[in-house]
Amino acid sequence: MALFERPKKEKNYAMVIVQDRCVDCKACEVACKAMWEVPDGKLNYRTKVLDIDKVENSERKMIFMPILCNQCDNPPCVWVCPTGASYKRKSDGIVLVTPNMCIGCKACMEACPYDARYYNEELGAVDKCTFCLPRLESGLEPACVQTCVGGSRNFGDLNDPNSVVSKLLKEATNYWVLKPEDGTFPNDFYISNSAKVE
C-alpha cells in the first residue's frame, strides 16, 4: 500500500493544544458559539472541552481536553460527500462546507472519527470548525484561541518556523494527534507535561 504523503500547501494552518494548560473555563466554547451562532443543544458545537476522569499513579484526576475539527490532510468527511459540499482548500488545508450544496445526508458526520461536525437545523446544512476563516482573513486569530485564558490553544502556520505552533512543536519533548491509527493526518497537535491522554 502506498504511504500517504501530506499535501504541500502555501500555508499549513495548525492548532497546538497544550493540554495541561486548559483550566476548563469554557471561554472558548462560549466565544465559538457566539461567533458562529451555533444553535443550543448538546450535540451542536464546533469546538468543546472534554472532561476526562483519569487515574494516574493511583491518583484520580480530571483532564481537560479541547477538541475541534482537525482539518485532516486525509479527510474522510470530504471523500464521502456525494455533492462536493465538503472540500479541503489546497492553499491552507482548511476543510469547509458549502451550505447550499449540502443535502443533509450526514455521511460526513458518520465518516468523521472525531465527532467534529453537527447538523445545523437553522442553516439546513452540516457545520464545523473552519479555524474561524473570516477572522484569519482579517488578520485575527480564531475566537477560541483569542479567548483561551490558559494559553492552551495556539494557532499558526507550520510552514513558518517562527510561528508559535512551530516553536511549540519544536520545543516539545513529545506531541501527538488524536486517533493516528485512522490515517487522517490531523493538523491539531497535542502536547502536555504529563502523560498523553486520548
Binding stretches for ligand SF4 (CB under 6 A): 69-72, 75-77, 80-81, 83, 85-86, 95, 97, 102-108, 112, 114, 116-117, 126, 128, 184
C-alpha 114/C-alpha 179 separation (Å) is 8
CB 132 to ligand SF4: min, Å: 14
Residue 25 or 136: the one with the smaller Cβ distance to ligand SF4 is 136
Are 46 and 127 within 8 A, CB to CB? yes
CB 157 to ligand SF4: min, Å: 18
Residue 89 or 167: the one with the smaller Cβ distance to ligand SF4 is 89
CB 119 to ligand SF4: min, Å: 7
User: DSSP string of the chain?
Assistant: -PPP-PPP-S--EEEEEEGGG-----HHHHHHHHHHTPPSSTT--SEEEEEEEEEETTEEEEEEEEEE----SS-HHHHH-SSS-EEE-TTT--EEE-GGG-----HHHHH-TT--EEEETTTTEEEE--S-HHHHHTT---HHHHT-TTS-EEEEETTSTTSHHHHHHHH-S-EE-S-GGG----SEEEE-SS----
CB 171 to ligand SF4: min, Å: 26
Q: Would you state the cell numbers that stand for residue 38, as one nine-digit string?
A: 451555533
Residue 63 or 72: the one with the smaller Cβ distance to ligand SF4 is 72
Residue 86 or 152: the one with the smaller Cβ distance to ligand SF4 is 86
CB 184 to ligand SF4: min, Å: 5
CB 60 to ligand SF4: min, Å: 30
Residue 111 or 164: the one with the smaller Cβ distance to ligand SF4 is 111
Residue 38 or 85: the one with the smaller Cβ distance to ligand SF4 is 85
C-alpha 127/C-alpha 153 separation (Å) is 21
